[in-house]
Amino acid sequence: MAVTTATQRRRLSKGRRRRLLWGIALTAPALVSQVAAQPAASSDTTSAGTGPAVGGVLSDGRSPGGFGYDPGTRVGLSPGSAVRPGTLGFPYTAFDRPLDDPGAPPEEPARTVTLVPSVALELTYNDNIDARAHDRRDDLIVRVRPALLLNVDSVRLQGTFNYAPSVEFYTQNSDENRVNQNFNGQGLATVVPGLFFVDVRGSAAVQSLSGSGSAYDEASSSRNNQVQTYSFSVSPFVTYRFGGLASLRAGYVMQYVNQDRLDRDDPLPFENVPPDQRQFSFTPSEYTSHQFYGVVRTGEDFGRLAMQGSLSSTTYDGDGLYDGAFRNIGLLETRYAITPTVAGLVELGYETQRFNTIPKTDISEMVWAVGVRLTPTPESVIIAKYGKRDGFESFYFNGTLEVGARTRLFANYSEQLTTSALSAGDLLASTTLDPLGNPVDAMTGAPVLPSFANNTLGVQSGLFKQTAASISASQAWLRDTFTLTLSYTEREPVASAPGATTQPFGQKATSVSLSWSHDLTERATLTSYGQYSRTSSDTANDGNSYTGGAVLSYLLSPTLTGSLSYRFRVSDGGSATGNALDDGTVVQNIVTVGVRQTF
């Protein structure tokens, strides 16, 4: 996630600023201890990822099944974004020309390179650094946040890179000192214009191992209760156009994902808890995947009818459940424009999947889906489908709707077979970045809530059927932005990972949050928020969590921004370890003051 400084907001046009405020409001709970751009991408998200039970995005050859999506529709991104809506397998520059003309030479963009370095110094007081109901420890934390934001928009190279690590020093508990890596980056290199491209992506983020039941920031969890996730991919691919008849895309994707604790030598938060009372099933995950894909799509000669055939084969190199794992799918998709704003969707294909789980997971069967695509306004797109994928039938929905000039609705629903590490890789492929490095949904432009902004559930190993749903309403005025968000996440264990400490278990989380951002003056902005979450699992009692806070930022000079924030959390589900040895009510207060200098 990225936090926009007052200086950056002043440099944006009024229209772009409004769009960015939607993203800030949606992710407001994570603003508590941050005064600078913080990239994010990880596994627990309410954004529709690639490879849902039904559907993905058309432009992503890696996950066939999203033919209803027209990547030429720009939704929700700031104008002039260096990275257009679209995902791996289709050049971003193609969105400056007709959708069905990926081979035409793009118009030459302005050759711009923007590099914005900055550094922040923060002082945080946390009265309960372990988030425990008993044996509380408080501490004064000194945090240094250097950051580097790079935007490139040239004929041969386009992209955004945002690197913002966090170095934390605990004045009383030095064993909690840590370095958290946070970054997001996406770039597209044009090797042969209109023909050969190379797409490179990467992300890193930290989240709570046990799940906080509420919004997460780095100061709210102890070191041994944090998981660092890295995800990188590189994809060379080609595009070719056969006149108005068809277009071709084919490529290779190599992806690396690593998910591990900050320090394996640190004791787990349940180290001294009997195995039958432990609530977490986590083992480190690391894999490299190799994917080959090809997509052929009809052109404008077919009129209202559009068809797409796609093949994708992915193999995994890794230990545990990724040993010998693979995913293959072939799919034929059709879209027929009934009216200019309504199109029918039909998908039919076959898939095979295998994971080295206990018991073994083998899927080999037909996949199908039927649905509709609606585009009621140029800035709105809605896709709804029902079908079968990943071995079960499910519903899929993803869309954004513009309601007047000030209000926008975002909604999504998906069910998919996945793991925590696979979700991290899917998120990398299904999001794009705005000019400040904020991840947004590639289809709708909706701000993506990464794990540490919606960290209600813990991280587990094993294979799960994950259901994710959210709906948000955001209204922007001249000086105020209001956002109401409802979200639901459920994970049902399908199979265990080899070597897991305990068996995976089911989890559910429901949350509602409300945020308000208000420009007090030209120099000062106040953001306040509140969130209620209810969590449940197969191994523990239900828990309730209440979180609230406020962030005040002030532009001290054109390049210097000050920030003051307060956050509280009250949880009746016990400590972060969530075991019977520490039941009770967790109360946590966090106060942060900081400054950021931009160079």
User: What's the pLDDT at 428?
Assistant: 76
Query: Are 588 and 568 contacting, i.e. CB atoms less than 8 angstroms apart?
Result: yes
What residue type is 294 in one-letter code?
Answer: G
User: What's the pLDDT at 79?
Assistant: 25
**Per-residue pLDDT averaged across 302-318, rounded?**
94
Bridge partners of residue 593, in order along the sequence: 123, 564
Distances in whole angstroms, Cα of residue 271 to Cα of each of 275, 417, 504, 510, 579? 9, 30, 17, 28, 11
Query: Are 90 and 239 contacting, i.e. CB atoms less than 8 angstroms apart?
Result: yes
User: What's the pLDDT at 253?
Assistant: 94
List, for residues 135-190, the tens digit of each pLDDT value: 889 999 999 999 999 999 998 999 999 999 999 999 999 988 999 999 899 999 99
List, for residues 541-575, the tens digit of each pLDDT value: 788 889 999 999 999 999 999 999 999 999 886 44
Distances in whole angstroms, Cα of residue 352 to Cα of each of 312, 316, 334, 357, 432? 11, 14, 22, 15, 28
More reliable by pLDDT, 99 or 335: 335
List, for residues 426-467, the tens digit of each pLDDT value: 877 777 777 677 777 776 666 665 543 445 677 788 899 999
Reported as a pLDDT band with limits 50, 70 and 90, residue 423 is confident
Ordered by where they begin, the domains of the chain are 6-172+182-598 (2.40.170)
User: What's the pLDDT at 149?
Assistant: 93
Angle at 75 between CA 368 and CA 393, to 5 degrees: 20
Global confidence as pTM: 0.78
Nearest C-alpha neighbor of 116 from the set 84, 146, 144: 146
Query: Are 452 and 212 contacting, i.e. CB atoms less than 8 angstroms apart?
Result: no
Query: Are 81 and 96 contacting, i.e. CB atoms less than 8 angstroms apart?
Result: no
State percent of the chain over pLDDT 90.
Answer: 53
User: What's the pLDDT at 580?
Assistant: 39
Query: How many other C-beta atoms can be found within 10 angstroms of the C-beta atom of residue 579?
Result: 21
User: What's the pLDDT at 543?
Assistant: 84
More reliable by pLDDT, 37 or 67: 67
List CB contacts of 75: < 8 A, sequence separation 6 or more.
85, 379, 380, 381, 400, 443, 444, 445
Query: Are 192 and 230 contacting, i.e. CB atoms less than 8 angstroms apart?
Result: no
**For 576, how many CA atoms within 13 A lie in the half-sphere containing its CB?**
30
Query: Are 119 and 560 contacting, i.e. CB atoms less than 8 angstroms apart?
Result: no
User: What's the pLDDT at 211?
Assistant: 66
- Report residue 453: phi and psi, to 5°: -100, -15
DSSP symbols for 192-220? ETTTEEEEEEEEEEEEESS--SS---GGG
DSSP 133: S
What residue type is 311 in one-letter code?
Answer: L
User: What's the pLDDT at 429?
Assistant: 77
**Per-residue pLDDT averaged across 1-5, rounded?**
39
Q: Which of 11-20, 50-59, 514-523 has the lowest mean pLDDT?
A: 50-59
Query: Are 273 and 539 contacting, i.e. CB atoms less than 8 angstroms apart?
Result: no
